[in-house]
Amino acid sequence: MRRYETMYILRPGLEEEALGAAVERFKSVVEEQGGTVDRVDRWGKRRLAYEIAKEKEGYYVVMRFSAEPPAVKELDRLFKISGDVLRHIIVLTG
C-alpha cells in the first residue's frame, strides 16, 4: 500500500452533523477499499485566498491514509461529484 495525504475544503454553511458525516463518508471510502486511515485533522473554518463557488470561507480537513491506487481513484471521484466539496487535492507522500 502507498501512503497519501489529502486536503479538502467543505462548504462553510454545513451543520456540524453534516460536516461529521462528510468526513466519515470519505474516511469510510478508504477503509471499504482495504486501506487504513492514519489521521484526520479538522482545521476548521478558514478564509479562502479567493472566492470558490461564491464562498469566501471553507472548512478544511486533512486526512493521511494508506491505500491502493483504486481506492484513491474512488475517493477522487467522490470528491468531484460531492456538492459539499469546494476543492480537494490528493498527494502521494511515500
Q: What is the distance between the alpha carbons of residues 72 and 92, in angstroms, rounded to a whole number?
A: 10
pLDDT at 94: 76
What's the number of domains the chain is made of?
Answer: 1
In a domain, residue 4? The reply is yes
Task: Evaluate whether residue 78 is within a structural domain.
Answer: yes
Strand order in the sheet with 2-10: 36-52, 55-67, 2-10, 85-92
- Render each residue's pLDDT in the chain as its tens digit; 94 residues: 999 999 999 999 999 999 999 999 999 999 999 999 999 999 999 999 999 999 999 999 999 999 999 999 999 999 999 999 999 999 999 7
Domain assignment present for 2: yes
Report d(CA 44, CA 55) in Å as an integer. Answer: 15
Q: Let me know if residue 61 belongs to a domain.
A: no
Residue 90 has what pLDDT?
A: 98
Containing structural domain, residue 5 = 1-36+47-56+68-86
